[in-house]
Structure 1
Amino acid sequence: MKVFRTIRELREELNSCKQSQSNVSVGLVPTMGYLHDGHASLMTRARGMSDIVVLSIFVNPIQFGPGEDFETYPRDEERDLALAKSHGVDIVFIPTVQEMYPKQVKTKVVVSELTSQLCGASRPGHFDGVTTVVSKLFNIVKPNRAFFGLKDAQQVAVLQQMVTDLNMDVELITCPIIREADGLALSSRNVYLSQEDRTQALVLSRSLNEVREAIDCGRAATAAEARLMLNEIIRSAPLAVIDYAEVLSFPELSRVEDETVLVDMQGEVIMALAVKFGGTRLIDNMLFKPKEALLLV
């Protein structure tokens, strides 16, 4: 496994690999580091679909807002490199902020509409930072495929829109949410949780599972009933402070009207959550097709 910290060195290595092998495929796994089993699942998927696996580790300052945790975001390069090596990564790209943004950023990639709700509403400018850094990584690495987890399903929808609109020659591969045995979705920010916060945070996965079951059996037939049930279950945890608990179409991320009967919908639905426990904001979601669920009952 090779580690590069400059764009020039990374490009030289990739160009050399492509010249020495014909039709070599490159898989990119973009991360902010502090890797966990969710990231490991992306690396494993990339390894199975790519000749060369590139992992990027970069805590991207332009996707953090004022007062957010850019400076304190957890970092552990030695541990990250060991995990990357054990999962068959070929190249790790760990640039500095100065390397990625040597001058003031005057050009940004902005996706409209999809970024105006959910995390985009509570974190203005966040997705502009995400789309800009990912487009930079795509230009630097030139991957055939890029691998993203569905824990941040809004990010996946936004990036797919960017790739489609700008005719980027890269395929986005999405991978399922990886959870702890008790249901908590893996996140680098879980390290911030106190023991009591973590215990109460289990209400997130529980709310998604219970509402999905209620939709399947008709106890939460409409979008309004599903939203109400989501919120009620989450509020049963005293430390939970809800940012949003929504029901939307996916990948359009359009709000499903209150009176809509969910099992009548043809496409995919997302129940999406963002909830704070102490000072830690966690996201979670569940994607499903209500009509297919009805057929299974």
Structure 2
Amino acid sequence: MSPAPLVCRGIGEFREALADRLGAASGAVSLGLVPTMGALHEGHGHLVRLARQENAVVAVSVFVNPLQFGPDEDYERYPRALDADVELLTRHGADLVLAPALEQMYPDGEPLVRVTAGRLGAVLDGASRPGHFDGALTVVNKLLNIARPPVPARFRAYFGEKDAQQLLLVRRMVADFDLPVEIRPVPIVRDDDGLALSSRNRYLDPAQRRSALVLSRALRELAAGQVGLEAARARIDAEDGVRLDYLVVVDPRTLEPAEPAPGALALVAAHVGSTRLIDNLAL
């Protein structure tokens, strides 16, 4: 097994350790950053493994960002299990973990200046969770600046495709602000039954987990042309304990509505019990 990663609770400590690791790297020097909110699962492990394959140094951030939670959402109960996270990251070869306290990230309280997601952040999940993407982009921008290599090195950041709208917004932010980082999208990882891996899956009881399978099933049937959009929505709505937020087909570059056709992206969000889940599938 790989040695355990160095866990840094302070930003200054992390930057010093990062400079040491990059300075000691041989060959092509590169950094792979995997930003997370912790409660890690094998989907995160897949991101870290890919980062390990492609970079000399791999860093993972673990920070539950309050800016992206609404007043009625699950910030307080969002699972926090740093020891288990470090165990998973050890298996997958991470070198450094940045696990800052809230006061480290926001020493003066909530930041007065934030990144705004604009019109792309006001639809779909942004409409259901106002302000969510402003908070997500603000912390991602901050993490990219914290982890920017202090020595000449290629810099990549890894994001899962399950959060398709967030991924699009991060890519737009990087392009629009000319940030010196390559965004690496990583395909969705699913359990054997098709459910997309998510930190929130642990909230589901066995019956709810079975009900949640309707999301991936509806996406597959829609992609295969077995059902139309309205029929797929009706199937989800008819599932016991599931409340559909949206099921749409969009242009993945703009999130504008599109016909169900090759190149389009189907996106779904629904509450299973009190747990909100998202999924998507390219058509």
Question: 2: distance between equivalents of 1:207 and 1:18?
Answer: 45
Shift of 1:15: 2.0
Question: 1: distance between equivalents of 2:19 and 2:192?
Answer: 42
State whether structure 2 residue 123 is matched by structure 1 residue 112.
no
1:30-67 CA-partner distances (Å, limit 9, x unpaired): 00111101000000000001100001100001110101
Shift of 1:230: 2.0
Shift of 1:19: 3.5
Does the 8 Å contact 2:25/2:56 carry over to 1?
A: no
Does the 8 Å contact 2:34/2:60 carry over to 1?
A: yes
State whether structure 2 residue 13 is matched by structure 1 residue 2.
no
Counterpart in the other structure of 1:167:
178
Shift of 1:112: 1.0
Counterpart in the other structure of 1:121:
127
Match of 1:200 among 211, 233, 252: 211
Question: 1: distance between equivalents of 2:238 and 2:73?
Answer: 27
1:160-209 CA-partner distances (Å, limit 9, x unpaired): 00000000110011111111111111111011112111111100010001
Runs of 4+ in 1 over 4 A off after TM superposition: none
Gaps of 5+ in 1: 221-225, 289-297
Question: 2: distance between equivalents of 1:157 and 1:77?
Answer: 28
1:62-111 CA-partner distances (Å, limit 9, x unpaired): 11010111010011111110110110000011001100000131110112
Aligned-pair identity in percent equals 44
Does the 8 Å contact 2:22/2:57 carry over to 1?
A: no
Counterpart in the other structure of 1:25:
30
Q: TM-score, normalised by structure 2?
A: 0.93
Does the 8 Å contact 2:223/2:282 carry over to 1?
A: no
Q: CA RMSD in A?
A: 1.4
Select between 8-17 and 163-172 the one with higher mean Cα deviation.
Answer: 8-17
Say if 1:151 and 1:236 are closer, same or farther in 2 by CA, change over 3 A.
same
Match of 2:268 among 273, 289, 295: 273
Partner SS for 1:151: coil
Question: 1: distance between equivalents of 2:20 and 2:71?
Answer: 41
**Aligned-partner residue type, residue 269 of structure 2:** A
1:219-260 CA-partner distances (Å, limit 9, x unpaired): 66xxxxx3212202212312110111111100211122xxx4
Counterpart in the other structure of 2:243:
241
**Aligned-partner residue type, residue 14 of structure 1:** L
Counterpart in the other structure of 2:188:
177
**Aligned-partner residue type, residue 180 of structure 2:** D
Shift of 1:21: 4.1
Q: How does 1:144-155 map to 2 (within 5 A)?
A: 144-155=155-166
Counterpart in the other structure of 2:103:
98
Q: TM-score, normalised by structure 1?
A: 0.88
Does the 8 Å contact 1:111/1:161 carry over to 2?
A: no
Shift of 1:269: 1.2
State whether structure 2 residue 137 is matched by structure 1 residue 135.
no
Gaps of 5+ in 2: 150-154
Q: Count residues in correspondence.
A: 272
Counterpart in the other structure of 1:294:
none
